[in-house]
Structure 1
């Protein structure tokens, strides 16, 4: 074939490709605008509601209790994060860097608190450590003068939130420990440092990015939590926002409080980014051997005790209490039959939200990884808003927006799905991104050189390779949507209850048997996909 003919054919293929690329290009632009509007408009509506209310809207800031509310909320988040670090870091090292018997099974069990929402944990510990709980009942029967322990209040909130969010620390630190370079620790040992000093002076500083990422997740979760703190009677921003909406019916005051909480969250995110700065934390190079597995020897029993104490407080004890409070298998079966409608509401809304989020997450991840332009940057930043904004704030923002501009959507189940979608879209984006970065772009280019369009290359070549990451993101969004309480309480239409809503209502009404049975159903449903997500080491790091 002559060079002229070859140039003509190549030019024809190039023209054909350019003509085909116009469609996807316009679709990408339209999709980018749509997602940015979808994710940013609720926050814009919140800010508009605050600043159009005049100075009267800010009168709540003059309340002397505002500083105490800010201090209490931030203290709750900081101490819950510290407690989660204390609970999560030792098991992370024990289960990834030692020869502890059964460490793979224990690691899978250690992740289970992510399937137990903190409001369920608060409910179980109220029955154990409340003023009329089992511990106080037994102690008073033995002659104690009044309650010896009280789970209600700030310290109870810190205890419960840290106990059921420590897996974020464990997963982040465990992933970093598995990827650490053993040569660094060996060099520290060679200069005379003991195991503890080597960990403190070499390994721990290199874990800083992972620990900060896990700590950020715990802190943001503590700031945004509503269910546990409301049951434990801790007055925070989320409970005060809910009070302003559902008791005083004051949307503007709730909007002001929400804006302050968003501002606190933004400052935390900026501080976390600034704390890492431009430091380098790379420790793995090509050709290094796997991390060292240390024999425990005489420390095997203490390590087992440490691990089982953490798992006992966060998994075994709460689940055992739920089974005891349920009463009998027939009671559990009766609750399941009577609550079919609530179970169905939870399942179908979570399924729809996870499916839509997976599609949008793939779109965002593809633009960010393959196009690497301003559209990808804007999309990635916009999708992070929902996860950084607490459920109560997101619910209020959607109420303000859709009640004013799309009233035909307001008051329907679509609002619940939209809240889930905006709240947990980052998890779907993360799952697709983690899978895409492992696929060489040359595979897509090869498919295009063979005449495939951009959509065909994505469907026939890229999608089969990244399907596990998309599935992991789908399951994470599904789990999170199944557990979500605050946004559901605000956005659900009248009579549209989900399993979390029924648990919260039963707890408020002191129907402990009904709350326990419903909690077991919710845990069982969320535990199955959680096990699937954590089945491989490559998916463990996607839980952030």
Structure 2
């Protein structure tokens, strides 16, 4: 019966059937596109409107000389943190994919765990270690020194913490590129007489430039938009000043003007990265599937292993050990869990709803960009990337201005928090679905439609089951990011609606180190589980490849 259906539908009839189904889907596509554009672009439009409403006086704060130093300090912090993350992430990426280092599988999984530890928790732990009254200074003072030897507060403390807890972006993206590169190029270089170091510099590194730039871009944008870590470490940046203008001076107009400058900085970085990659071609043609070349470390095995474990210790083992020590007894942890169960519930259900909504919208955007042509996919791609371009403080402010003026029945509810998460992390869901859909041949959908299935049925019965791992990975990434988000949550939460991230920040400000440590451990445990599942999924796919 199926065979007769295929024979009965010829090329001309199939084209007619496809056009009729595409025309029938146009209203739904148009409605979905309009919804996403309205959802993503309206906060930025509201921010611009608020800033320009007051005319030239609205930008009087920008005439202040301190704004230039604020720009310089913010850009310097993001640049140095990115360089530090590259130093920490690039060598392990090559070591864990191209050498015979012992325990590679374990190190790959543990190496990405810093993503489960928000930088503001990292800042909190390192303050107790390297602060003016931290353990290190107490030890030196006991030995007879006067005054603190080290002080983590300030720019260099921000660079240290942000790099330590964002380097897995470099590790993951560069490591994935290394696993998928063509070993024939390195073999040709080896035959020409180059050693491992020369091969890396002249062959491997140029091919890694796109993935390295992509990872560096994520780190730079994160450092540019971070609020929690820099506020605890007392580094004055755009995000802290915006929060100060909004929550201390209650000046929304000045906060909006500063936010526009931060958005412009982010947009300039994105355009520079796109222009840098657009001038070059990075194509590898592979005639067969072969594993990458594994280099023996020989006498370098022990030093390389020690350096790798030192990086992981500074970003995972040491912070967790400090949190466990500060929490005290298991009963103290249990009391914190019982007393703060409502904060845990608030975090879980808002992150779950945001991740589910983002996965649905991400699937819609991925399908249009990969299966449709025209203006709508291009507009959607740009619109969904606004989440990367708008930091949490700016997004929170723009949503406050928008919903307070036009949708007051939503303002002051938990829905504001969910909308903030959705807009902030929608790009992660889009990328997860897009990466999976690229690998699905559209001929499978065409075959299903030739058997009488509609476009929606072909998507539901053929495409979605095949891209389910990508959708799940995107869902988990949005969930993790939503659980950790601090800046947007602080601004958008209704009165009395605290999450785990908010309680950690409040406890740190109030010097309640035991409560902050116990709450941090709860948050890390929850976010580490989906991150571990993503790592296992990636390892399984790598083994199948």
TM-score range, shorter chain: over 0.9
Find the aligned partners of 1:57 and 1:189 in 2 and give their Cα distance.
Answer: 62
In structure 2, the residue matched to 1:505 is 506
Distance 1:240 1:535, change over 3 A: same
Q: Do 1:354 and 1:477's aligned partners in 2 also have CA atoms closer than 8 Å?
A: yes
Indicate the residue corresponding to 2:235 in structure 1: 234
Match of 1:214 in 2: 215
1:455 and 2:461 are equivalent in the alignment: no
Name the structure 1 match of 2:411: 410
Bigger Cα displacement from structure 2, 276-285 vs 241-250 = 276-285
User: Equivalent residue for 2:82?
Assistant: 81
Determine the C-alpha separation between the residues in 2 that align with 1:209 and 1:10.
Answer: 40
Answering whether residue 107 of structure 2 is matched by residue 106 of structure 1, we say yes
1:335 aligned residue? 336
User: Secondary structure, in 3 states, of the residue corresponding to 1:147?
Assistant: coil
The change in CA–CA distance for 1:295 and 1:16 in structure 2 (over 3 A counts) is closer
1:288 deviation in Å? 5.2
Deviations 1:487-543 (A, max 9, x none): 0000000000000000000000000000000000000000000011111337999xx
Question: For residues 150 and 465 of structure 1, do their structure 2 counterparts lie closer, same or farther at Cα, with a shift above 3 Å needed?
Answer: same
Contact 2:9–2:450 (Cα < 8 Å) also in 1: no
Aligned to 2:515: 514
Instruction: Return the alpha-carbon distance in structure 2 between the equivalents of residues 259 and 242 of structure 1.
Output: 14
Asked if structure 2 preserves the Cα contact closer than 8 Å seen for 1:50 and 1:252, the reply is yes
Residue 443 of structure 1 corresponds to 444
Output aligned runs, 1:166-245, within 5 Å: 166-245=167-246
Q: Does 1:265 align with 2:262?
A: no
SS in 1 for 2:287: coil
How much has 1:64 moved relative to structure 2? 1.2
The equivalences for 1:11-160 within 5 A come to: 20-160=21-161
Instruction: Determine the C-alpha separation between the residues in 2 that align with 1:368 and 1:236.
Output: 36
Q: Deviation per CA, 1:275-305: give whole Å up to 9, x if none.
A: 1233121224121532100111111101111
Structure 2, unpaired ranges of 5+: 1-6
TM-score normalised by structure 2 residue count: 0.96
- In structure 2, the residue matched to 1:391 is 392
Residue in 2 aligned with 1:365?
366
Residue 434 (1) aligns with residue 448 (2): no
Please say if residues 472 and 539 of structure 1, whose CA atoms lie closer than 8 Å, have aligned partners that are also in contact: no
Give 2:491's aligned residue.
Answer: 490
Structure 1, 307-316 or 368-377: larger mean CA deviation: 368-377
Provide the rounded CA distance (Å) in 2 between the counterparts of 1:87 and 1:10: 55
What's the offset of the Cα at 1:240?
A: 0.1
* CA distance in 1 between partners of 2:12 and 2:154 (Å): 73
- Aligned partner of 1:302 in structure 2 is 303
Partner of 2:324: 323
TM-score (normalizing by structure 1)? 0.96
Q: Does the 8 A contact of 1:176 with 1:210 survive in 2? A: yes
8 Å Cα contact 1:91-1:306 kept in structure 2? no
How far apart, CA to CA, are the structure 1 residues paired with 2:257 and 2:444?
50
Preserved contact between residue 171 and residue 540 of structure 1 (Cα < 8 Å)? no
Residue of structure 1 in register with 2:3 after alignment: none
CA-to-aligned-CA distance 1:139-180 (integer Å, 9 cap, x gap):
101101110000000000000000000000111111111112
Shift of 1:9: 9.8
User: How much has 1:17 moved relative to structure 2?
Assistant: 6.1
Q: Contact between 2:130 and 2:152, CA under 8 Å: does it hold in 1? A: yes
SS in 2 for 1:536: helix
Deviates more, 1:289-298 or 1:146-155: 289-298
Matched, 1:534 2:516: no
Relative distance call for 1:13 and 1:164 in structure 2 (3 A) is: closer
> For residues 309 and 9 of structure 1, what CA distance do their matches in structure 2 show?
64
In 1, Cα distance between the equivalents of 2:527 and 2:333? Answer: 17
**In the alignment, is the contact (CA less than 8 A) between 1:180 and 1:284 conserved in 2?**
no
8 A contact 1:175–1:540 mirrored in 2: no
Q: What is the match of residue 421 of structure 1?
A: 422
In structure 2, the CA distance between the partners of 1:118 and 1:203, relative to structure 1 (3 Å rule), is same
Change over 3 Å in CA distance of 1:168–1:17 after alignment to 2: closer
Q: Name the CA distance, whole Å, in 2 between partners of 1:540 and 1:176.
A: 14
After superposition, the Cα gap between the structure-2 partners of 1:287 and 1:15, relative to the gap in structure 1 and judged at 3 Å, is closer
Is residue 131–residue 152 contact of structure 2 (8 Å, CA) maintained in 1? Answer: yes
Alpha-carbon distance between aligned partners in 2 of 1:381 and 1:538, rounded to the nearest angstrom: 31
Residue 288 of structure 2 corresponds to 287
